[in-house]
Structure 1
């Protein structure tokens, strides 16, 4: 089933509208709201959950939805981490595509999906389309688009449209992480959260209570902590039981522009029979300059090799030293430099260093 003439025109207009979101200056929430306006008529979905993610690990760290109450969001988080389901965000990302439908992944039998049985179908939806927003430098977000059962499954052309849209949304979210000004001073002390088996805080220490507000999800959920903290806790429980889990820590940016690293660990020496019973301590530590600079460089769209060159320049290396350290010719270093300068909007090494230092240091 292909898109008809008017649908093709609307799809092209949606893609052009998404291109406009790739310019720096928009917030994540603004990007998601505009993307909703552009994509809902052409993808024909009835509800959507938007997520930002840790660009390095791809772990979901926030949720935004104007369609769903998120009253059982704790169960959704648990399924996302523990269920070996069809068309999960990591599986889509590893497959080499940017979007996948549950109907296609299940070959027309979505009942095979525990997510479908326990959540999607119970809310009257018949198919789900998931998209991952990858761009150079990492995975910056993802989304799940649900449609009512009476609409039928998503056709192939809509999945292909979502795939194209996801690439542009990855670029837009990446650009939203380019700092427009230096953030204010961060609290240097780590925040500590002691969570029970339902990810409810039993104790807080340091600036934890204040940090909860700075990490709060755009949409209210059934969780008592932000999504990022709950996800870190669930993966710590998986790790304690010897199950595969993404590399930690989880990276998260506060609403005022500071990056934090979330380290989580269970409190038991011997895991209980029920993995979800583990209590977890999550420590949120302000990211160091060495940890933040690669994130800033990735936000500008630098490739891995370009980041390596830029980091050495910021640390004071000259062209010859960069060539020696990275086993490349000086001419190749110069080619990478041209690309770095073009992407960051500077023309000299000193300007590149000043640009990154400005993003790190608070005014005054």
Structure 2
């Protein structure tokens, strides 16, 4: 009974600490470090790999780990994109969960997982627990927690704890993506960049501000990849689509360290002299995100409800209260109630300030 009470107290302390992270306005790397300190004692993992993600598509766009060398990260990316495995991040989300383990998904037979056979077991780990950090309708990040074989599989209570923790981490990561304060840097080169990669995602050619952008997209932890995770993911999904396999059709969105959003469009290249005419090369075009692409992300980052986001979008487009009420089929006083909540969550006092905050980041 004493051990059970001590465990429950430790888990409660960890969850309370994660809840507080949402209001701390920390950058993502510090959120992950704080979460590591809170969760490692209660989830009892030996290594963790943290990721941010494109909230609109859930596609991973960065990696951070203080436990792993990531020397085989290129293989991990291949497995993530090309393998229909157990307990993948998309499958966890489609199942309506936030956390799952290989041991549970495989019904005690982890060898059924390609990821386990080719990556986890060779690295000296046993079970893996994955968590998706969802909030406000998007996935803002995710993580994979590995443990040594002698610890045995994760317990059901730890899966439940990870599910609860993931919700709070989703809120913390969402809050870290609010628009940057201050005016837009006019000296910032906002022209598109073109990045050409070979089959192994090695650089073949660059144009425009690509070299600068690659540095701004860089992963917090060095990996075996020659390019940042976001660029490699855009290229791999383009190759998958070119092979006629199901693949996300939306671009990969990534936020730079200075808070600017870019969209990465990947396309597979065809070349002569190669079987099937497929050279394996891919082009990734990185373009500054337009207001139409960033406004929904910023509104979600502020924690607005779906209805509040609809009201705010109409305001940004120039609609007055009456037009918003008519478009959304609600009473004007209801619109005003939503407006008060929108202003409170975004920290503004007027519609003009709202537009400036969302559109200009000021």
TM-score, normalised with respect to structure 2 = 0.94
CA drift of 1:3 comes to 7.4
CA RMSD in angstroms comes to 2.1
- 2:96 is the counterpart of 1:99: no
Partner of 1:295: 297
Q: 1:15 to 1:306 in 2, by over 3 A?
A: same
Partner of 2:285: 283
Partner of 1:197: 199
Moved more, 172-181 or 328-337: 328-337
- Equivalenced residue count is 359
Q: Per the alignment, in what secondary structure is the counterpart of residue 313 of structure 1?
A: helix
Structure 2 matches for 1:110-121, cutoff 5 A?
110-121=110-121
TM-score, normalised with respect to structure 1 = 0.94
Asked if 2 retains the 8 angstrom alpha-carbon contact of 1:59 and 1:250, the reply is yes
Asked if 2 retains the 8 angstrom alpha-carbon contact of 1:85 and 1:115, the reply is yes
Partner of 2:61: 61
Asked if 2 retains the 8 angstrom alpha-carbon contact of 1:24 and 1:178, the reply is no
CA drift of 1:247 comes to 3.0
Cα deviation per residue 1:296-339 (whole Å; 9 max; x = unaligned)?
A: 11100112332121011122211111122233332432332233
Residues of 2 paired with 1:91 and 1:237: CA distance? 21
Residues of 2 paired with 1:293 and 1:282: CA distance? 23
Residues of 2 paired with 1:23 and 1:46: CA distance? 28
Q: Per the alignment, in what secondary structure is the counterpart of residue 198 of structure 1?
A: coil
Q: 1:275 to 1:219 in 2, by over 3 A?
A: farther
Asked if 2 retains the 8 angstrom alpha-carbon contact of 1:237 and 1:276, the reply is no
CA drift of 1:351 comes to 2.9
Residues of 2 paired with 1:271 and 1:96: CA distance? 46
Residues of 2 paired with 1:270 and 1:244: CA distance? 25
Partner of 1:220: 222
Asked if 1 retains the 8 angstrom alpha-carbon contact of 2:63 and 2:229, the reply is yes
Partner of 1:49: 49
- Flag structure 2 segments of 5+ consecutive residues without an equivalent: none
Q: 1:348 to 1:239 in 2, by over 3 A?
A: same
Partner of 2:238: 236
CA drift of 1:268 comes to 1.3
- Flag structure 1 segments of 5+ consecutive residues without an equivalent: none
Partner of 2:85: 85
Asked if 2 retains the 8 angstrom alpha-carbon contact of 1:241 and 1:275, the reply is no
Q: Per the alignment, in what secondary structure is the counterpart of residue 194 of structure 1?
A: strand
Residues of 2 paired with 1:78 and 1:304: CA distance? 35
CA drift of 1:218 comes to 0.2
Residues of 2 paired with 1:261 and 1:28: CA distance? 19
Residues of 2 paired with 1:29 and 1:119: CA distance? 24
Moved more, 345-354 or 173-182: 345-354
Moved more, 339-348 or 171-180: 339-348
Asked if 2 retains the 8 angstrom alpha-carbon contact of 1:99 and 1:131, the reply is yes
Moved more, 70-79 or 247-256: 247-256
CA drift of 1:358 comes to 4.0
Cα deviation per residue 1:33-76 (whole Å; 9 max; x = unaligned)?
A: 00001100110000000000000000000000011110011110
Runs of 4 or more above 3 Å deviation: 269-277
CA drift of 1:8 comes to 1.0
Q: Per the alignment, in what secondary structure is the counterpart of residue 7 of structure 1?
A: helix
Structure 2 matches for 1:1-364, cutoff 5 A?
4-182=4-182, 183-185=184-186, 186-268=188-270, 278-359=280-361
Q: 1:270 to 1:53 in 2, by over 3 A?
A: farther
